[in-house]
Amino acid sequence: MSARMLRLQVDGRDVEVVDGSSVAAAVAQVATHFRRSRSGQPRAPLCGMGVCAECRVRIDRVGQLRACITPARDGMQVWTDG
């Protein structure tokens, strides 16, 4: 039995992830970092449980969502600030 795949876009690029994956898993397929700090340093998920907020992205035009604790959904559009 094969796993159900979800299709979404990350920064305009098509990505597929297994149903049950986080948005962070989808972003990690196409980006090395998710955003930049105020000083311009690249940032990516650190804690993996939503505490550090280093994985913030925009999802379907809503900003500052934590990718590591947000489940991926079919058809969603994700934008990094990297």
Total tally of structural domains belonging to the chain = 1
Evaluate whether residue 80 is within a structural domain.
Answer: no
Q: Is the pLDDT of residue 52 over 80?
A: yes
Average model confidence (pLDDT) across the chain:
94
Q: Is residue 29 part of a domain?
A: yes
> Per the domain annotation, does 81 fall within a domain?
no
pLDDT at 82 over 80: no
Is 77 domain-assigned? no
pLDDT attached to residue 27? 97
pLDDT for the residue numbered 31: 92
Residue 2: what pLDDT? 83
Cβ pair 72, 28 in contact under 8 A: no
Range of the domain at 54: 5-71
- What per-residue string of b and e applies to 6-40 under the rule 16 or more CB within 10 Å gives b? bebebeeeebebeeebbbbbbbbeebebbbeeeee
Q: Is residue 13 part of a domain?
A: yes
Q: Quick one: which H or E segment has residue 25?
A: helix 23-28
Find the CATH number of the domain harbouring 60. 3.10.20
Please give the pLDDT value at position 20.
97
pLDDT tens digits, residue range 13-24?
Answer: 999 999 999 999
